[in-house]
Structure 1
């Protein structure tokens, strides 16, 4: 039993549960960042702005990944499973799946 009162963690467990990473963020976040910035570059034709946006968004993703490595996948699942209904304004802001 640990005398400090803290749980012991195994580094192997953390390594097995982390998603594949590229430059400190998950592949999913990296791909979404690149796609969004490619669309920005196509619309604005500004390469310097694209590089700055990639760096800023990647830094934000890096900080979020340090807290929760699967944050982008969790938000995607939340968007798929926990969508808001169109008639939520009739039921005090809660989801109601009633046809009326």
Structure 2
């Protein structure tokens, strides 16, 4: 393969990695759409709210028209970044990409006292 040939694109590999869809919308977006529509139905007790699925499905289709994995990226962002914007941002003054929640075992001054106490024990 020469450098002038360019990059070979294999359309089969792209087709095999596409997410599963329902009427052109990824499965995750359809589940979110269904949950929101059923919740609106249960709150209002009006069957016309089930028709809300159609325009929301069309909006989801337009969002995923350019990138079929956009809802996967949104869910990944919510899992990793959204919780830390609420939780650890106040403590660290920055956000974290870890999906784990921050639990402080010691207070900031208590940790310092424990470390200082351990250093004193090593000296004696």
TM-score range, shorter chain: 0.7 to 0.9
Deviation at 1:43, TM superposition (A): 0.9
Unaligned runs of 5+ in 2: 97-101, 109-124
1:21 aligns with 2:27: no
Distance 1:15 1:87, change over 3 A: closer
* Count of residue correspondences: 94
Higher relative contact order (CA 8 A, sep 6+): 1
Greater fraction helix = 2
Equivalent in the alignment of 1:78: 77
Give the distance between the partners of 1:86 and 1:28, measured in 2 at CA. 26
Structure 1 ranges of 4+ moved more than 3 A = 85-91
Give the distance between the partners of 2:59 and 2:8, measured in 1 at CA. 30
Q: Return the index of the structure with the highest Cα Rg.
A: 2
RMSD: 2.5
Deviations 1:1-32 (A, max 9, x none): 15xxxx55332122111011111101111111
Deviation at 1:68, TM superposition (A): 1.4
Unaligned runs of 5+ in 1: none
Give the distance between the partners of 1:27 and 1:85, measured in 2 at CA. 28
Paired residues of 2:33 and 2:56 also in contact (CA < 8 A) = yes
